[in-house]
Every structure is written in structure tokens, then in C-alpha cells.
Structure 1
């Protein structure tokens, strides 16, 4: 039955993308003064329509999956592919965009819990409308952990796309070990300080992007969440996805999450990178995709997600 559903969705997806005009409409929706996003709605929406809430990854990432200087449209392309399979999608800008626009951004006051509360507010907004058959939270990268915590007791299903299976301090230490091993010992010491709930004076400006004074409180609040512990709390259908060309989050992270929640579905997509693009070549091609909004995303990704959601 699942195989048949998968094939039918593939046919529907191919047909939808062959049309000159998309088979959906979009609307800007403000959840509150801090959260603005785009609602993608199928033209055939009815009381059986299911909703996916997309949560962006780390940094100043907007509803389309883009940052300044890094335009790839990853979330926008995913939303469009899902709505063409008759799934409603809401993707929103992180609160820092509204704060920057109003001139009230105070980086030092931001915490990881702020973003969890934002995700919960989005879920509650759509739950209160009582117009969707189900609500699925799908988080990308850092957003996977945010969504994991927010979905507990609030959503009908959960999806992790390139979500870490380890606390952020372990992930960062591994990345530094690969990219700048001469900094690993210093980074490890700094992370240990933050993990103990303490800030410190940064002396090595090479590490300012990670450990500047204004971001240390956020790091402290982020480190305390362990993805394997959080996913164990979920009592809803869960889907774990990673690409084997992801140079930021390893396949092993998805496998760790499944070990913590054995009944979660796990899919490793061949040649997909961190931003859902298909990479046939080397790391140069991989990194170039981060600034190529015209490069399509993996069709397998949208098919796997669509199949999962349609089975709810």
C-alpha cells in the first residue's frame, strides 16, 4: 500500500511541475508581531488537507531558507513541491527579521527557548483554526531540534531534515576538528565553560563568530538540549531524513536519532546535501550550491515527506 501511495505521489508531483501555473496560492500570514511567513495552500483545499510547518536552520535564515549572501531557496522549493502534492505549508521568518526591521534586535537577549516558543505559537495558531486534518512540524538543521521540542504534545507528526543527533557542543567540536584542528583544544575549553552555564572573555578573535560575548547566552541555552533525549519524548509518528552529501550534519546523526526512537522512519538520500540539493561532484560543487537558487532540490526528499504526511 505504501509503495502504491509513493508511486501515485510521484505521478502527481511530475504532473504538477509540468504546469505553466502552479496549482496553489500563497498568502502572507503574521502569527504575531515577531513572526511573519508564507502560507502555501492547494487550490483543492478541504477538511482533509494536511499542514506542514517548516522551521528554518541556524543563523538569520528566512522563510525561503536564505541568508544574506546565501540565497538557495531551499525551503521555498520544498514548500512548493509539497503544496503541489496537495499539502498545505507554512514557512516563517525567524523572529530576528522582525526585530531587525524594528531596530530592536538585542542578540545578547536571544535564547534557544525563544525559538521553541515561536514554533509553539505557530502550531497553536493553526490548531486553533481547526481547518487541517493534521499538523506536522518539519525542522531543518537547528530547526529540527527546535521543532522536536515544540512538537511534543502539540503536533500530530514530526520530521527532522538534517537534524543533529548530538548536543551542539559535540557537533561544533567535530566540525572544528575537521576544518581547523589547531583550534580544537581552545574550542573544547570554551564549550565546556558554556556547558557549565558560564560566560567567558573571548581573547581569540578567530572564534568571534562562535563565541562573541553577545552570542554566548544563546549557546548556553542551546547546549542544554540533547536531541536523543528530546526525541524519546515524542509519542507521534516521526520521520528522520539526511543526505549523504551533507557536509554539515552527518548521516550518523540521523542514525543516532533513530536509535533513540526506533519506531521513527529513517531515510538517507543519496547525493543530497545540507540544503536539499543533489550533488554529483566534489565539495566545490557542494559549496557552490549554497548560492544557487535555480538549482532544484532533491525530488526524493519531497516524495518521502509527501508519502509520510499522506499516510497520517
Structure 2
């Protein structure tokens, strides 16, 4: 191999190395709250400008900052954060608090309520507001995190983004899901949620419903069920972006439309062929379900572009 070829290869490799360098700085950041220390990842664009910050709140279950849990790994929130940060938008995404308890304090998980999540989100927002490092602070809540985020954002954030969030209260959604999956349990489910709405726990019910209404989780459901997303989003006096995918099998398009109707100042985008975790689905239900455990399948560019435009247009 002659000298010119060697020189060219060295030059080519150096170009690739530069091209692969991240356009942002990544650090692990823990934020104390009254309940537990929240653990997350802050991505800061490599620019001298004062950038906007998007705080990403994960959905239901023991979901981590990347959008994953023990049963699935799709990196949906990780991809979203990285995509936005590469567009000069700082991001902070964090683990659900259930993942942050030590082995010694694990029993405290049973005391968690929906309000706990709201207080934790408020603590995160307050932390970044006090730093005064960001031009704007925007909250983006995914799925269950949408309701958490819209409540936490009141009088605190400069903008709110609902990502595949419910537009109806939990009782209506639970009854609808049971009706679709096990119609013969619909009547009993309705009776249970009626009691939960009154603040009462239920001791006896069909064992087939135990995973949904076990006694330990009922206090959490009671605290969640009292919030109506349409009422909460109507309280926001800030710019709002609502995004839903046409292939979402968890949060329906009607939910996004109900949120939009309740907040006339909001912008609504229904993204064709996008599912609940922001992935493009061109096929059937099987393809949709498989995407939940595909950690390499990217999120849709049209999706991240809508968010980027919304954030940068904020005055």
C-alpha cells in the first residue's frame, strides 16, 4: 500500500470520526423530591446559545427514562431525546420513581399515588427553572405521563406536549378496554370503577380481574381516576401540542381529538402509521406488537420534526 493511499485512509477515517461525534453533551442527573430522588439523563446541545429544554415524562408502569421496562425494550424516549438534542433542544428524561427506590425502601412503592407522580414532575420542573439556564421549559408527557405533565405544567411550564395521551378519565378507558377484551366482565368492571370513583376500595370481584384491581393498586387507581384530562388541559394558559398516531392501539385518535376540543389554543397532529411508541407501522397488529420490543427501530422523523418546530416557535 503506497503513501497516498495510507494518507487517504487516515483522512477518511478522521472524517467519519468527526461525523459520528454527538452534537450534545450527556450527563446523568439526579433530582431530589419529597418522595424519592429522581434519576435521569440530561442532554445539552453543544452550542453557546441559551436553548429550550424539553422535560420528557414516561408512561405507565415501571418505565425507565428510555421508554423501556422489564418486558420490553424499544428505546422510544431515548430516541426522542437524542433527536431533539441534535436539533439544539436540550432534553431531560427520567425513570419512573418506582425504579428509584432502594431495596431497603422498596415497600414504599405500595404507598405511591398518582399525585406522587405529579409532585415529582413539579419538582423536576422547579429544579430546572431555578437554574435559569434555558430559554423555555416545555413538558412532554407520554401516555400516562401526558396527564401527569399537563397537571404539573400549570403555572410552571412555557409549553406542554401531549404524546399519545388519554383524553378520557381512567374509569371510562378501563371499561372500554375490558369490553373489547372480555365483554362478559364489563358490567362488573363498571361496578368496581364506580366504587373507586367514590373513593372506596373493593374487596370481592371476579379473580380474572385481579391483575387490574388487586387490593394494593386500588388506592393508586382511586387517586388517578379523579382526574379528567379534558378538564386539566383546559386549565393550561400556555401553548399546547397534541400528537397521536393513527396506528396507536393504546391511546385512540378520539382521545387526542377530545383533548384538542377541550383546549382550543392547542395544535393537533395525527401522524399516519405511527403507533404508541412513535414507530412507523405499515402492516398488521403483529408488526405493531413486535415493535414494542425492537430497540433498534427508529422513531418517525415526521414526529420529532413536529415537536422541534413547536418548541422553536415558542415566543
What TM-score results when the alignment is normalised by the length of structure 1? 0.92
Which of 24, 40, 56 lines up with 1:37 in the alignment? 40
Q: Please name the residue that 1:59 is paired with.
A: 61
Distance 2:205 2:240 in 1: 43
For residue 106 of structure 2, give the secondary structure of its aligned residue in structure 1: coil
- Does the 8 A contact of 1:202 with 1:208 survive in 2? no
SS across alignment from 1:278: coil
What is the match of residue 27 of structure 2? 27
1:163-205 Cα deviation digits (max 9, x unpaired): 1110011111111111221221111111111011100114423
Q: Which ranges in structure 1 are unaligned for 5 or more consecutive residues?
A: 1-17
- Residue among 140, 152, 155 paired with 1:150: 152
Partner of 1:121: 123
Question: Unaligned regions of 5+ residues in structure 2, if any?
Answer: 1-17
Aligned-residue offset at 1:63 = 0.4
Assess, with a 3 A threshold, how the Cα gap between structure 1 residues 163 and 216 changes in structure 2: closer, same or farther: same
Structure 1 residue 51: Cα displacement: 0.1
Q: Counterpart of 2:189?
A: 187
- Residues matched between the structures, number: 294
RMSD: 1.3
**In structure 2, do the counterparts of structure 1 residues 127 and 254 end up closer, same or farther at CA, with 3 Å as the change threshold?**
same
Q: Name the SS for the 1:40 alignment partner.
A: strand
Contact kept, 8 Å, 1:202 with 1:211, in 2: the verdict is no
For residues 133-144 of structure 1, the aligned pairs below 5 Å read: 133-144=135-146
Query: Are positions 1:238 and 2:274 aligned together?
Result: no
1:61-94 per-residue CA deviation (whole Å, 9 max, x = no partner) reads 0100001021111100000110010100000011
Partner of 1:277: 279
**Partner in structure 2 of residue 108 of structure 1:** 110
1:218 to 2:229 alignment: no
**Which one has more relative contact order, counting CA pairs under 8 Å at least 6 apart?**
1
The runs of 4+ residues in structure 1 deviating greater than 6 Å are none
Distance 1:298 1:105, change over 3 A: farther
Q: Which residue of 2 aligns with 1:11?
A: none
Structure of larger gyration radius:
2
After TM superposition, give the deviation of residue 215 of structure 1 in Å. 0.3
Tell whether the 8 Å contact from 2:188 to 2:205 is kept in structure 1 after alignment. no
Cα pair distance change 1:215/1:166, threshold 3 Å: same
| CA-CA distance at 1:271 after TM superposition | 0.3
**TM-score, normalised relative to structure 2:** 0.91
Cα deviation for residue 19 of structure 1 reads: 3.6
Shift of 1:225: 0.3
